[in-house]
Structure 1
Amino acid sequence: MKKYKQATAWLVMMTVMATFMLPVMPAHAFSVSDILGQAAGTAESGGTSGVSAGKGVVDIILGLFLGKVLGNAASPDAAVQDNSSDNGLKTNLAKEFVGFYAEWWGEDTSSYNSMVQNADVIKTIAPFWATMQADGTLTDRGGNDHIAVVNTAHQKDVAVLLLVNNAKQDNAPPVHTVLANPALRTKAIDNFEAYIKKYNLDGINVDFEMVPAKDRDLLTAFMRELYGRLKPQGYIVSIDVFPKQDENNDVAAAYDYAELAKYADKIMIMTYDNHGAWSGPGPIADIRWVENNLKYALKSIPKDKLYLGIAAYGYDWSAQGVQSLEFDAIMDLAQRYGKTVQWDDTAKSPHFSYTATDGTAHTVWFENSESLKHKLALITKYDIAGAAMWKLGEEDPAVWPVLRDKFRK
């Protein structure tokens, strides 16, 4: 009893001290779990509590005392919550759908039409409008009226990021020329900023591909400088990265996931093209391959910055080469040749084969609403930020109800 009285007196004293030490704050309903859990709750959920963390020492002292005196009064079920998931603490992030946007010829409006029809799902578009050259300049890829596209997107509460890629050249990669020269890096960033401001864009999506492995640190330096320029002005900075499951993948070695995550708001991992022109026929995105790449990325990239790349297209392999086709064209082929679409349950991917009128054998693998359901399930399973689809206008129309369930704004 004596110890209890001493403890009670100590509590009264500390309460009085706290009254004088704390600033005036809005009314807030406290409980023991509120006090004991503020610091942990902020760290675990990434959110903020209703009380300023500036109380610091007072919270700690009161928390320790109340934890000893009143600990037995708290419900174990309320005090302990299992928020675990496959990759750590689960925060149930709000999911975002990003649509890559491209115009392959002057009157190509497929991406535009898809954006307008599904603006209740699409939070961001990344139009493929510019290419960085070896001298740091930007080549505008043309297409439809950029200003009109941006205005329409903004009217529908859709953010617009400039997708800029790098010019390709086998013997002397232009991207290396820029990355290796600080002056050219600055020039390129100047041009990025000017383009964004010219068209009233919301930020940038850097799509540098086939970057030499030796330029790993240079790519990080470029993103650090770009982020330092654009982020303070309120612009979104994002980057697309090749998938990988180790650091020995030459085509993906230039992407230092952990370092790039420091200088990007969004990182889109391009988990498609598992098979393509460089391989024989096979799934565009075998679900096992996609998940393994995602798990590896999560070792270095915060899940609230990570977006899973999903494909809307397919490939047709034959002795004549490999052709990329949108969903409608693929369905036309199947109908024309009387072929039933097959389902590979291991890869979670659709496919079929046919023989053309000239006698050439073809094999087609593609993505549809059913295959995309399995990819989208990974977003929930690993609680990552969202998905980024290449590209708007090529997709199976049946995918939109699926996307609407997960991403409706």
Structure 2
Amino acid sequence: MRTSAVGKARGFLRGLFVGFAALLLVVAALVAADGARADSAPRRLVNGWLPYWTTTASLASVTANADLWGEASPFWYRATGAATISPQPGAGDRTVVDALRSRGVKVVPTVTESLNAPAMAALLAAPAQRAAHVAALVSLVTANGYDGIDLDYETMNSGGTATDKAAVRSGFVTLLRELGPALDAQGGLLSVTVGPRTRADDPSWAVFDYAGIGPSVDRFRIMTYDRHWRGGPPGAVAPLPWVNTVLTYAVTAVARGKIEIGVPLYGYDWPADPAQPDGYGIATSANYQQAEALRTQYAAARQWSATDAAPYFTYTDPTGVRHVVWYNDAEATRAKMTLIEKYSVRGLAFWAVAYEDVRQWPLLRSYAVQRSTKLTVSAPAAITYGTTMTVSGKLSTTAGAAVAGQKVFLQWRKAGSSTWDTVASTTTTSTGAVSMRRTPASNGSFRLYAPPSWSYLSSVSAVVPTLVRWRVSASLNDATVTRGTTVRLTGKVAPVHAGVTVRRQRLLNGAWSTVATTAVRSDGTYRFSFTWHTKGTYTYRVMVPGTTLNTTGYSGALKLSVS
């Protein structure tokens, strides 16, 4: 019975109407290079259907929130044969088209169909009839200057046998393979609306082959609603666990960037009927305003199913019949909108515009905006080779709020290079802080990079240079000698670069003076030999001059006593 539930819901909804300093030698935290940027404009993550029976209110809703809309699909046409596409009331209304286009919303009218499974199977099996149907659909787009079309072919899932539906399933894929390129050649989008399926062999909505349809279409709208429908027992129209199950399957079969999650902006009022097997009679449809009016009329308490992410209430009418009402409000829409980020899909598709709780629009707008951010960074100005240092920073919005739970990468650029290498990553704490440890081998610069996420724009910190000193060890073979004794001063330099100059320096009258030079050997060692003939105490050190790769390094001071 469920295979026709969505179509039946739409029929009953025609009567509905309605018009979101700790480190040594640390460079202080620096302001991010791109911190002054503004938040993004809202992403156009909403598409949906405009029923012809609520055109005025639907258009008003879309135009009032046009910054969130990418495409709108007026319910304007019905295919009754291979070459026959009949208009619905108001089809092609230029006032509607111009109002949408002037606000940056593409016009992608919906075409339904009247052919059941046997009739559609026959049409799709005949190449000439398929070609006629493709030509009719393309002509509809080009003749009216539309941005594309949306095929909402639900009747073909009704009637006939399993064999008929299998023929429709394969034939519909063939049709779309022919229609997609033909529309694309005219610059038109192809959107297809499909029934909800939870696996490839799901018997529900068997005419829709997700994997077969996906490559040919630009938009893949899933009617993730009517899990509980007017002819069945009460329950959430689009319970969240079920929607998740549908999407979990869909993203394995269709490119995520094409998928749009159908969101019901309506509900059902089920009257109790003890004569029925499930205890309830046929439900009547209710948009948000009608459901709330009923709740207020009967002073019913709004209840919330956290599992289903849907509101409901009960009441008893004047005849003593108990009713259960499940519907959609702004909080339910909020739960669905977060699935865009969770599954990395294109957005939402509302059935039907003008039925909604208008409080959903600020929630959607807030969700659609990426906040601008700033990223500070701190790092030591200089370290000695082999020392582990800490690079820290903080990610916040440009308004100053901490950004928690966001990935941040540490990038390093070697001195003399123009290439940034990512060397570490972490996630911001609840205060937006990050901290990463590195042991650089040479001079270079660090920066932090926060990539864009659903909620935030990317951010790059300022660049902080860190010099890496040569690590120089030095020792005397004997620190107390007699005159005429040869003294050996040896040590190591790291990192090892054979041939690097090493200078032996002596402290004289408060100043260091170079008295000899040598070069680093291939194993990183060096050696000085010298002899004193004058008694006294002498102070030495070893200095390795700076290069592009490493900055000047010094050994500790050594005292030599000559008697």
TM-score class, shorter = 0.7 to 0.9
Paired residue for 2:212?
259
Partner residue in 1 for 2:451 = none
**2:130 counterpart of 1:181:** no
1:328 is aligned, of 289, 292, 300, to: 289
**2:335 alignment counterpart:** 374
Q: Hey, what's the Cα distance between the residues in 1 that align with 2:322 and 2:178?
A: 50
1:136, distance to aligned residue in structure 2 (A)? 3.5
1:176 offset after TM fit, Å? 2.9
Are the equivalent residues in 1 in contact too, given 2:76–2:92 (CA < 8 A)? no
Match of 2:147 in 1: 202
Q: What is the identity, as a one-letter code, of the residue corresponding to 1:271?
A: T
Residues 44 and 68 of structure 2 are in contact (CA less than 8 Å); yes or no, is this contact kept in structure 1? no
Q: Secondary structure at the match of 2:49?
A: strand
Structure 1 Cα separation of the partners of residues 266 and 367 of structure 2: 21
The CA deviation string for residues 178-217 of structure 1, in whole angstroms up to 9 with x for no partner, is 3232222222222212222232210011111143243211
Deviation of 1:330 (Å): 0.8
Partner residue of 1:104 out of 46, 53, 74: 53
Provide the C-alpha distance between the structure 2 equivalents of 1:353 and 1:290, rounded to a whole number of angstroms.
24
Q: Does 1:133 align with 2:116?
A: no
Q: Distance in 2 between matches of 1:102 and 1:177?
A: 29
User: In 2 relative to 1, CA 379–281 (structure 1 residues): closer, same or farther, beyond 3 Å?
Assistant: same
CA contact under 8 A between 2:49 and 2:350: conserved in structure 1? Answer: yes
TM-score (norm 2): 0.53
Contact 2:257 2:346 in 1 (8 A): yes
| Amino acid in structure 2 at the alignment position of 1:395 | E
Cα offset for 1:157?
0.6
Q: Which amino acid aligns with 2:52?
A: E
Indicate the structure whose relative CO is greater, using CA pairs within 8 Å and at least 6 residues apart. Answer: 1
Q: 1:252-294: per-residue Cα shift (whole Å, max 9, x none)?
A: 2222212211100110111111110232110011110001110
Aligned pairs for 1:5-404 within 5 A: 96-104=45-53, 108-143=55-90, 146-167=93-114, 169=116, 173-209=118-154, 210-211=156-157, 212-318=165-271, 319=273, 321-404=282-365
Aligned to 2:23: none
RMSD: 2.0
How far 1:149 moved relative to its partner?
Answer: 0.5
Could you give the per-residue CA deviations for residues 55-80 of structure 1, whole angstroms, max 9, x where no partner exists? xxxxxxxxxxxxxxxxxxxxxxxxxx
Report the CA distance between 1:394 and its aligned residue. Answer: 0.4
C-alpha distance in 2 between matches for 1:175 and 1:400: 39
Larger radius of gyration: 2
Deviations 1:69-116 (A, max 9, x none): xxxxxxxxxxxxxxxxxxxxxxxxx662102111226xx412111112
Query: What letter matches 2:235 in structure 1?
Result: G
Inter-partner Cα distance in structure 1 for 2:66 and 2:91: 19
Letter of the aligned partner of 1:115 in structure 2?
Answer: V
Against the structure 1 CA distance between its residues 168 and 216, is the aligned structure 2 distance closer, same or farther, given a 3 Å change threshold? closer
| Counterparts of 2:358 and 2:115, CA distance in 1 | 33
Higher strand share: 2
CA contact (8 A) 2:120 2:168 kept: no
Quickly say closer, same or farther: Cα 1:260–1:208, change in 2 above 3 A.
Answer: same
CA contact under 8 A between 2:92 and 2:144: conserved in structure 1?
no
Q: Quote how far apart the aligned CAs of 1:304 are.
A: 0.9
Q: Does 287-296 or 173-182 show the bigger shift? A: 173-182
SS at match of 1:175: helix
Structure 1 residues 324 and 113 mapped into 2: Cα distance closer, same or farther (>3 Å)?
same
| Bigger mean CA deviation after superposition, 289-298 or 186-195 | 186-195
Residue 9 (structure 1) aligns with: none
The aligned amino acid for 1:251 is S
Letter in 2 for 1:96: L
Change beyond 3 A, Cα 1:213–1:275 = farther
- Aligned 8 A contact 2:50 2:75 in 1: yes
- If the length of structure 1 is used for normalisation, what is the TM-score? 0.72
Q: Give the equivalent residue in structure 2 for 1:18.
A: none
Q: Hey, which of these two has a bigger chunk of helix by percent?
A: 1
Contact 1:379 1:385 in 2 (8 A): yes
Does the 8 Å contact 2:80/2:113 carry over to 1? Answer: yes
Gaps of 5+ in 1: 1-93
- Does the CA contact (< 8 Å) of 2:267 and 2:291 recur in 1? yes
Residue 347 (structure 1) shift? 1.0
Structure 2: where are the runs of 5+ without partners? Answer: 1-42, 158-164, 274-280, 371-563
* Partners of 1:99 and 1:135 in 2: CA distance: 26
Q: Is the 8 A contact 1:147 1:199 kept in 2?
A: no
Q: 1:95 to 1:181 in 2, by over 3 A?
A: same
CA contact (8 A) 1:308 1:388 kept: yes
Residue-by-residue CA offset, 1:349-384 (whole Å, 9 max, x unaligned): 101111222333221111111111111111111211
Q: Distance in 2 between matches of 1:408 and 1:149?
A: 27
Closer/same/farther in 2, CA of residues 226 and 362 from structure 1, 3 Å limit: same
